[in-house]
Each structure stands twice: as structure tokens, then as C-alpha cells.
Amino acid sequence: MNNAVALLGLAFALCGIGVVLRVAGNIWLRTRELERGTPSDSARLSSTLASLEARLARIEQAVDATAVEVERVTEGQRYAARQLAEGAVGTGMPGTT
């Protein structure tokens, strides 16, 4: 029983040391990559920026189209309100008596 507890403690200690070494190694490798300025990072960044630029252009077009439609609807509401205020609204369809 005593040997099993010692073995379990050793296993946990080795796992902990392994995790610490793995994290330290990853940090070291990432630092080296950033210092070198790998071309893949800059290429990835430029492609990401290009795709974001295209998305923003599409969003801008959609907002402009929506603004035009809202203005059109607003103008129609102004016209209907003016007609109601003047009492010029007929009781039937246009062209009927």
C-alpha cells in the first residue's frame, strides 16, 4: 500500500513536470517565431485584412441600399400623412366613382 502511494505521487510529479516543460517549450518556440517574423504570419495577416476589407465593402453597400429604401418608405409615409391631413383621401380605389 505504501509503495502504491509513493508510485502514484511520483507519477503525478512526472506528469506535472511534463506539463510545465511542454508549456515552457511552446512559449519558447512561439517567441522564436515572432522574433523571426515568419513570412507565413505576414501573408496570413494580409489575406485576413483583404477579406475583412471585402466584407466591410459589402456591409457598406448593404447599409447604403437599406438607407435608400428607408428614405423611400419615409417619403411614402409623409405623402400619406399629408393626404390624410388635407382630407384628400378617397373612399375607393383610384379610377372608381
CB 89 within 8 A of CB 83: yes
Range of weakest confidence among 34-38, 73-77, 92-96: 92-96
Give the model confidence (pLDDT) of 13-71 as tens digits. 888 888 888 888 888 888 887 777 666 667 778 888 899 999 999 999 999 999 999 99
**88 versus 44: which is more confidently predicted?**
44
Does the pTM exceed 0.85? Answer: no
User: Does residue 67 form part of some domain?
Assistant: yes
What's the confidence (pLDDT) of residue 45? 81
48: containing domain: 41-85
Please indicate, yes or no, whether residues 81 and 45 belong to a single structural domain of this protein. yes
The 3-class SS string of the chain reads CHHHHHHHHHHHHHHHHHHHHHHHHHHHHHHHHHHHCCHHHHHHHHHHHHHHHHHHHHHHHHHHHHHHHHHHHHHHHHHHHHHHHHCCCCCCCCCCC
Domains contained in the chain, number: 2
Give me the pLDDT at residue 19, please. Answer: 87
The answer to whether residue 92 sits within a structural domain is no
**Residue 51 and residue 76 in one domain:** yes
d(CA 80, CA 64): 25
Residues 29 and 49 in one domain: no
Question: Do 6 and 21 lie in a common domain?
Answer: yes
